Chain A
Amino acid sequence: MESLGQFEQIVLTAILALDDNAYGVTIHAKVEDLSRPKKATRGAVYATLDRMEDKGLISSWLSEPTKERGGRSRRHYRIEKSGEKALRDSARTAQRLVETIAQNLGGLAWKPR
C-alpha cells in the first residue's frame, strides 16, 4: 500500500477538491490555501505531481491550447483509484491523531487551530 507524505496529502486533496479544473495554477492556489500559514512553491507542487503520477496515484492529460496561456495547453490531473485509497487511509490516520490529541489536550473543547 502506498503511504503519503504530508505534502502529497495536501496536493491530492487539492486535486480532489478541484475536480475537473485541476491543473498547475489552480492546484498551486488550492495547496497554498490548504497549507496556510505555510507557503508552497509552485515548483514543489509540480515535483510532487510528477512523483505521484509515477506512483500511479494520479494521471494527467493535456487540454486544448488556450489564448490566455499564450496558446499553450493545460496539464489536467485527476486522482486514480489507488490515490483515492491512499488519501482515505491518510484521512483515517489524521482523524485518529485529532481524536488522540483532543483526549489529551482539553477534551472535546480542544480544536486544531
Chain B
Amino acid sequence: MEAALSSPPEWLERVVQIAIPPAARESVAGDLWETYESPWQYAAEALRTVPFVVVSQMRRNLNPLALMLQGGLIYICLGGPATLLLLPILMLRDAYQPIARPSPRRAIREAVLLSSAAMVMLFLFMSVHPPFPVRAGVDPFTWMSLFLAALFLSPFLCLFRAGLIMQGDRRTALADQELSKDSLASAYEDFLRGTFCRNILEGVALGFAAACGFAFAWNGILIGLFVLAAIYLLMDSVPRASSACDFMSLRTRYQRELVRQEQLRRFLRWLWFAPVLVALQARLSENSSAPASLTVLLNCVAVAILCFLVAALNREFGGRVQEEIGQLDRVRERLTQTVSLGEPSAANR
C-alpha cells in the first residue's frame, strides 16, 4: 500500500479513535489513516466501519452466563426496568474495556474525588441540621467520629489504589519480543494450572458462602447466584493445549482463555460484595420515608465506597489481563533447534 499523502485533522482523528473500541483501535485507526483521502471520506468511512467493530467487540466479549448472573445481581439491587436498561450498557462497556491499566494519576484522582464528595455530603448534612442534630438521633461524639472518618477516607482510598498499582507493577512481564513455542506452551500450562486451582478454591468458598447465606437469611436470588457461580466454577473445564497446535494457534487460545477468565473474575468480584450491597439497599428502602436521615446518607456513602473498591479492583485486574493480551499480540516465535529446517515456521509462512 502506498503511504498516505496527508493525514486526517487531529480533532477528527481523536473523535474516531474514541469511537473505536480500544481492543481494535490500533489496527482499525491505522487502516483508516492509511486509506485517508479527505476529511469527508475519512469521516464517512469511519461511520460505515465503527458500528460493525463495536458490535463485533460486544459479541466477542459476551459471556452469556456471566451476563445472566450480573443481570440477577442488578435485578436484586435495582429491579426489573433498571436491569433491562443496564444489560446493554454492560455489554457496551465490555466492548470498550481498556487495554491497559488506568494511569496512577487518574486512579488517585478518582479516590480523592470520591472521598471529597463524601465529605461535602457530610458537611451539607451538618449544615441542614445545625449544630449537632439531636433530633436526628446523633450525639456530638458520633459526629466527631464521622468527621474524622471522612478525613481519613481520602488517604485510605488513595492507599488502596496505590497498593493495587504497585502490585501490578511488581508482576513479571510475560515475555520479551521473541518466545519459543515451548516457552509459550509452558506459560499457558502454568496459567491453566493456576486457573484450575483458583476456580476450585473459589468455587468451594462460594458454596460455603451460600450455606452461610441460608443461615443468615439472605435474599433467595442472591443465594441462588452464589450456588450457580460455585457450580459453574467447579465444573469449568479449561481447554487443554494440544501438543500438535502451533505457536500462533496456541497464542490465540491463550488470549481467548485470558479474556474468558477475566470476564468471570469481573463478575465474581461484584458477587462477593453483593451481600453487603443488597443489605445496604434493603436499609435504604426501609428509610425511604425519611430521606434526610443520617442513616440514608451513611448508607449512600457506604454504597459509593463499595462500588469504588470493586470497580477499582476490576479496572486494575482487567487492565493487567488486557496488557498481557497486548504483549502476546506482539510476541514473535523464536525458532529453536527442535524446529525442523525443512518446515517453514508458523510465523514465517
Residues of A within 8 A of B (CB): 20, 23-26, 28, 41-44, 46-47, 50-51, 53-54, 56, 59-62, 66-70, 72-75, 78, 80
Contacts and interface: CB of A to CB of B under 8 A. Distances in A.
Given A70-B7, A80-B249, A50 B60 contact: yes
A26 B252 CA distance: 22
Nearest to B36: A70
A69 B51 CA distance: 21
A73 B30 contact: yes
Contacts of B170: none
Given A54-B60, A56-B249, A23 B26 contact: no
Contacts of B35: 25
Contacts of A51: 56, 59
Contact of A56 (B31, B59, B60, B252): B252
A70 B30 contact: yes
Interface in B1-51: 1-4, 7, 13, 24, 26-31, 33-35, 45, 48-51
Given A24-B31, A50-B60, A68-B3, A41 B48 contact: yes
Contacts of B123: none
Contact of B31 (A23, A47, A59, A80): A23
Interface of B: 1-4, 7, 13, 24, 26-31, 33-35, 45, 48-53, 55-57, 59-60, 248-249, 251-253, 256, 329-330, 332, 347, 349
A25 B48 CA distance: 14
Nearest to B32: A42
A60 B248 CA distance: 8
Contacts of B28: 24, 46
A25 B31 contact: yes
A73 to B, nearest CB: 5
Given A41-B52, A44-B52, A53-B252, A61 B329 contact: yes
Nearest to A76: B27
A43 B59 CA distance: 14
B1 A61 contact: no
Given A68-B3, A70-B7, A70-B29, A59 B53 contact: no
Contacts, number: 101
A41 B248 contact: no
B1 A72 contact: no
A67 B2 CA distance: 11
21 contacts: A41-B48, A41-B49, A42-B48, A43-B48, A43-B52, A46-B28, A46-B49, A46-B52, A47-B56, A50-B60, A59-B252, A61-B329, A61-B332, A62-B330, A68-B4, A68-B33, A70-B30, A70-B33, A72-B26, A74-B31, A80-B249
Given A68-B34, A80-B249, A47 B52 contact: yes
A24 B1 CA distance: 11
Contacts of A70: 7, 13, 29-30, 33
Contacts of B256: 54
A75 B34 CA distance: 13
Contacts of A80: 248-249
Contacts of B13: 70
Contacts of A78: 248, 349
A28 B35 CA distance: 11
A77 to B, nearest CB: 10
A59 B48 CA distance: 25
Given A46-B52, A50-B60, A70-B7, A62 B31 contact: no
Given A62-B330, A75-B27, 14 more contacts: A25-B35, A42-B49, A43-B52, A43-B53, A46-B56, A47-B52, A50-B59, A53-B252, A61-B347, A62-B27, A68-B2, A68-B33, A73-B26, A78-B248
